[in-house]
A = this chain, B = another copy of it.
Amino acid sequence: MNHYILDNVHIVTTNKDERILKDHYVEVKNGTIQQIAKTPVPKNKEGLIHNCNGKWVMPGLYNTHGHTPMTLLRGVADDVPLNKWLEEQIWPREALLTKDRVEAGTSLALVEMIKSGTIAFLDMYHLQMDRVFELVMESGLKAVLSRGMIGFGSSQELQSKLTAACNMAEMWNDAGAGQIKGMLFPHAPYTCPPDFLESVVEQAHKRNLMLGTHLAETKTEVMNHQDKYGKTPVFHLHELGFFDQSTILTHLVHPTEEDMTLLKNKPISISHNPMSNAKLGSGIAPIPDMLDEGMMIGLGTDSAASNNTLDMFEEMRFAALLQKANQMNPAVITADTIFDMASVNGAKMLGFSEHGIIQEGAPADFIMVNAEEAHLQPKENMLSHIVYAVSGKDVTDVFVNGEQLMKNRELQTIDEEKIRFEANACFQALENELKT
């Protein structure tokens, strides 16, 4: 298989003791990082040597929450309250998402993710997930996929949704030699009745599948749940066994103090989606408190319909600045914490062990950043720039298991031009249909 050496790079690592390795080379063999050492490359080395002229090498980013088909709905509605957004704008369009349109949306998301340095992501959707699985496989990206479940319908319908979701998750699990994982993702406690959630938990534990849900996204959700059940959604999920095994909790913008105490020793991780939470007016998650409690936090963009991009560099920057503004404390969260959230933490949360790091023996999953952009000068403080200045568009090259998915901004596994064309054609057709 592949064997090459990327020479003359500066490496930004998630190793707390040595964040920056200047003037190094990275040797890749059979999809793995074989060696990392100071330049120059010894004369007797085999493998093709590429001179990277001082580009930065860093872990590819992990987007821990999204709905790729909804990328087709980018910009259809902004600046409106959540219920109007869903009921008047999103749901009527989702009702018209045919297989072609899901394909167009997901393909566009894959293009955008590669082009902004994301190499693995979690995707949850209720339509055409079998097609999403195929597209991800072809793209070369890594992913955790789930056929989303909304708990409306008869108990028979719910049972059949659950069976379908379980079967898909098991079929996907470890497809492509670990490229893909399956998981179970019931939509939320406000859309799934308790007994249904209980049977999802049971199946997840029985089949050893990862579990996740949207949780405590808005204040209204928490209040309504308390009114209906006399307990918070977090406490309710606890009672249903949701936290007995490893679980990804998405949003968690409004946990109560008791919720925090309950969660702190559970095997949970949190997918923090600050831009989506902001854009939908959901609020500001108490990330500093969660960090104080030692909770595992990763970053997610949520869908492009509420963000409106999938650029994880912007998500990092927003996550940092939002907390500093909100707490009026510039020291409340630091660049290295944020960088780890988007890389090594995301990898751990998504079940990709030994990922999100640049070290010998790890999978050759990394990206390169063009250090010559004006907004990255002077270029000395690389970690600062990665969090506070780099844009996804500064990423030039993307490698997954040593395979190059993007080379000098040209995609290698996906026909970008065709996908852009089809996204617009599908969108126009959808909008026309909506009007009739």
A interface with B by C-beta (< 8 Å) = 72, 74-76, 78-82, 85, 108, 111-112, 115-116, 219, 274-275, 277-284, 304, 307-311, 314, 317-318, 320-322, 324-335, 372-375, 377-381, 384-385, 387-389, 391-394, 416, 419-420, 423-424, 426-428, 431
Given A374-B420, A416-B374, are A330 and B280 also a contact pair (CB < 8 Å)? yes
Residue of B nearest to A372 (CB): B420
**Given A274-B325, A309-B388, 14 new contacts (CB under 8 A):** A72-B378, A74-B389, A78-B387, A79-B335, A81-B329, A219-B328, A280-B324, A281-B324, A284-B325, A322-B322, A322-B325, A377-B423, A378-B424, A380-B424
A310 to B317, CA, bound (A): 14
Q: Which 4 A-B pairs have the closest CB atoms?
A: A75-B381, A278-B325, A378-B427, A281-B330
Minimum CB–CB distance for A396 against chain B, Å: 12
Residues of B with C-beta under 8 A to A72: 378
A interface, by DSSP: helix, strand, loop or mixed? helix
A313 to B356, CA, bound (A): 30
A378 to B427, CA, bound (A): 7
Decide if A75 touches B325 in the complex (CB within 8 Å): no
Q: Which residue of B78, B318, B391 contacts A384 across the interface (Cβ within 8 Å)?
A: B78
Given A75-B380, A384-B308, are A281 and B423 also a contact pair (CB < 8 Å)? no
Minimum CB–CB distance for A190 against chain B, Å: 17
Residues of B with C-beta under 8 A to A373: 393
Residues of B with C-beta under 8 A to A378: 72, 74-75, 423-424, 426-428
Minimum CB–CB distance for A239 against chain B, Å: 28
Given A279-B330, A282-B328, A283-B328, are A424 and B377 also a contact pair (CB < 8 Å)? yes
Residues of B with C-beta under 8 A to A335: 78-79
Decide if B274 touches A388 in the complex (CB within 8 Å): no
Decide if B314 touches A278 in the complex (CB within 8 Å): no
Residue of B nearest to A71 (CB): B377
Residue of B nearest to A427 (CB): B378
Residues of B with C-beta under 8 A to A377: 74, 108, 420, 423-424
Minimum CB–CB distance for A141 against chain B, Å: 14
Residues of B with C-beta under 8 A to A419: 374
Decide if B375 touches A116 in the complex (CB within 8 Å): yes
Minimum CB–CB distance for A256 against chain B, Å: 16
12 contacts between A and B (CB under 8 A): A74-B377, A74-B381, A75-B380, A75-B385, A80-B330, A82-B330, A108-B374, A277-B325, A282-B328, A318-B321, A374-B416, A391-B393
A116 to B394, CA, bound (A): 13
Residues of B with C-beta under 8 A to A326: 284, 325-326
Minimum CB–CB distance for A15 against chain B, Å: 19
A405 to B304, CA, bound (A): 33
Given A378-B424, A385-B308, are A321 and B74 also a contact pair (CB < 8 Å)? no
Minimum CB–CB distance for A387 against chain B, Å: 8
Minimum CB–CB distance for A350 against chain B, Å: 23
Residue of B nearest to A274 (CB): B325
Minimum CB–CB distance for A266 against chain B, Å: 27
Decide if A380 touches B431 in the complex (CB within 8 Å): yes
A15 to B311, CA, bound (A): 30
Decide if A331 touches B424 in the complex (CB within 8 Å): no
Minimum CB–CB distance for A300 against chain B, Å: 15
Minimum CB–CB distance for A334 against chain B, Å: 4
Minimum CB–CB distance for A107 against chain B, Å: 10
Decide if B279 touches A388 in the complex (CB within 8 Å): yes
Decide if A81 touches B424 in the complex (CB within 8 Å): no
Given A277-B325, A374-B111, A391-B393, are A330 and B79 also a contact pair (CB < 8 Å)? yes
Minimum CB–CB distance for A313 against chain B, Å: 10
